Amino acid sequence: MGHPVIARFEAVAGLLDVQGDRSTLDDAITRLAAWMGLAADHLTEDDETVLIGIGALLYRDGLRRRLEGRL
C-alpha cells in the first residue's frame, strides 16, 4: 500500500479532473510560492528547505515540458 498522503494527492487530483480544473505546474509553483511567502514567519529552516526543493522540482519539470513544447 502506498503512502496515505500520496493517496490523498491522487484523490484530490481526481476531484480536480471531475471539476474540470485546468491548473498547470506554473499555477502550482505560483501557489506554493505565495503560500510560502505568507507562512514564512511560521516555517522552520527545515520546512523551507523541503518546500524549496519541492518547488525546484516542479519548476524544473515545468521548464522541461515547456522546452519540449508540451505545455
Answer whether residue 6 is part of any domain.
no
* Residues 21-71 pLDDT 10s: 999 999 999 999 999 999 999 999 999 999 999 999 999 999 998 899 865
Answer whether residue 18 is part of any domain.
no
Answer whether residue 17 is part of any domain.
no
Answer whether residue 2 is part of any domain.
no
2 pLDDT band (50/70/90 cuts)? confident
Our count of domains for the chain comes to 1
Helices vs strands, H then E, count in the chain: 3, 0
For residues 1 and 7, what is the distance between their CA atoms, to the nearest angstrom? Answer: 9
Judge residue 26's burial from the number of C-beta atoms within 10 Å of its C-beta, 0-12 exposed, 13-18 middle, 19 or more buried: middle
Question: Which domain range does residue 63 map to?
Answer: 23-71
Which residue type, as a one-letter code, is found at position 46?
A: D
Answer whether residue 50 is part of any domain.
yes
pLDDT at 12 over 70: yes
pLDDT of residue 46: 99
Answer whether residue 9 is part of any domain.
no
pLDDT of residue 1: 60
Answer whether residue 46 is part of any domain.
yes
